[in-house]
């Protein structure tokens, strides 16, 4: 088991999408990145992860899109995509769950 793979190859990081992205957002971002990689745009070559900058390849982009099409694997990746966000940040002093931010929604309550 590569302990860093779940963070470094998380589809949400690869596609630079928030974890609440819709299916259409995923497809759109994937196609855009594939196009940018095809023309050799420098900004598309790397993406940020909690473990540092990682190289983006067309294969990795296609794999990320495929991973997010399956609901079970998508939920798993959603959970891992927000590893660096503290859930406790959204909890109020009384522990009221209603005010807690959903972590994979980018701290924004829906």
Partner 1 sequence: MAPVYGLFWVLFFAARFLAKRRGKKETVYAVRPPIGRIALVIGMVLTGWSLFSLSDLREPMPRTLIVGLVALALGVAPALAVVVAVPLGLPRMAWALNRIGGGSGGVFELRSSAGLVAARAVLRRPSEHGARFIENYLATCPELGMSGAAATALIASLRGNREQALAIFGLLARMAHAHAFPPALDLSREYLAIDALRRRNWRLLVELGKGPGTFLTDLLGLVARRVLHTGDAPSATRLWHAWVFTPHRRMTWRIVVRAITAPAPAPPAPVAPSLSAYAALLARDPGSVRAEDVEVAVRSLDEIRSFRPWLAVIGQRRLALGIAASVEDIRAETMRAAEQGIAAAILEGGWRAKWIPVGVTGDAVRALVTEERLRLVEGLVAEMARRARERRDLPEPDEWRAWADARRVCDELRADSGSAFGLFEILFQPLTAYAARLTNVRGRRVLAGDIFRYLRDLAREAGAVYAYDLVDRNAKAVQAYRLPREALAEGDPIGSIDRIVKLRDQLVPNVTLFSLVTAGAAIGSVTFAISGAVPMMLGVLLLLWAMVEAVVRARIVECGHSVEGLVLQTHKGRFIAPFEELYGLKAGPGALVRIRLRRTPRWLPRFVITFARSHEDAQSHVARVQSLIRQKLPLALGTSAVVP
Q: Which is nearer to partner 1, 32 or 80 (CB)?
A: 80
Q: Is 69 in the site for partner 1 (CB under 8 A)?
A: no
Question: Interface mask (CB under 8 A) for partner 1, residues 82-101, using x and -?
Answer: -xxxxxx-xx-----x--x-
Please, are residues 81 and 8 in contact by the beta-carbon 8 Å criterion?
A: no
Q: How far is CA 38 from the centre of its chain?
A: 22
Q: Which is nearer to partner 1, 2 or 42 (CB)?
A: 2
- Binders of partner 1 in range 1-30 (CB under 8 A): 1-4, 6-7
For 108, phi and psi rounded to 5 degrees? Answer: -105, 115
In the chain, where does DSSP find H-type helix? 5-8, 11-14, 23-38, 58-69, 71-81
Q: Which of 38, 48, 51, 66 binds partner 1 (CB under 8 A)?
A: 51
């Amino acid at each position: 088991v590569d302990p860093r793979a779940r963070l470094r190859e998380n589809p949400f990081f690869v596609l630079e999408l928030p974890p609440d992205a819709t299916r259409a957002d995923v497809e759109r971002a994937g196609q855009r990145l594939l196009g940018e990689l095809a023309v050799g745009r420098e900004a598309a070559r790397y993406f940020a992860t909690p473990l540092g900058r990682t190289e983006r390849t067309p294969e990795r982009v296609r794999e990320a899109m495929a991973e997010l099409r399956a609901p079970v694997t998508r939920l798993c990746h959603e959970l891992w995509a927000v590893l660096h966000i503290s859930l406790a940040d959204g909890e109020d002093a009384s522990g009221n769950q209603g005010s807690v931010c959903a972590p994979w929604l980018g701290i924004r309550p829906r």
